[in-house]
Amino acid sequence: METSIGARFERTEIRMYHGRKYFIGDSVTSQGERLFRTVACEKMVHSPTVMFAEMVWEHIGKFARDTKTGELIRL
C-alpha cells in the first residue's frame, strides 16, 4: 500500500471496481475515528474515475458543519 500511495496509514484496504485496484488509506485518531482518506487507482494518472465520487462520499458524508459556529460535526 505504501508504495502505491506514497504514505503510511493506520488503516488500509484494496478494493476492485471495473477490473482496477483501488488503494485506500485512512488516517485515524487515537479513538479510531477516520479523519482523512486517500484513494489511488492502479495505473491511473491524476484524473478521476467513475468510482471516486462514491468512494469520497463514503467518507465525507459522515461530517457536517454547524452553520452558526463553524464547528465540525461527526454524524
> Above pLDDT 70, what percent of the chain?
91
CA 22 – CA 39 distance, rounded (Å): 7
User: How far, rounded to the nearest angstrom, does the alpha carbon of residue 7 sit from its chain's CA centroid?
Assistant: 13
Contact call for residues 22 and 41 (beta carbons, < 8 A): yes
Residue 8: pLDDT over 80: yes
Q: What local confidence, expressed as pLDDT, does residue 65 receive?
A: 94
User: How far, rounded to the nearest angstrom, does the alpha carbon of residue 13 sit from its chain's CA centroid?
Assistant: 10
13-37 per-position pLDDT tens digit: 999 998 989 999 999 989 888 888 8
Which range marks the domain in which residue 14 is found? 2-74
Q: What local confidence, expressed as pLDDT, does residue 1 receive?
A: 66
Mean pLDDT of 48-61: 83
Number of domains the chain contains: 1
DSSP code string of 20-60:
EEEEEEEEE-TTS-EEEEEEEETT--SS--TTHHHHHHHHH
35-46 per-position pLDDT tens digit: 888 888 888 776
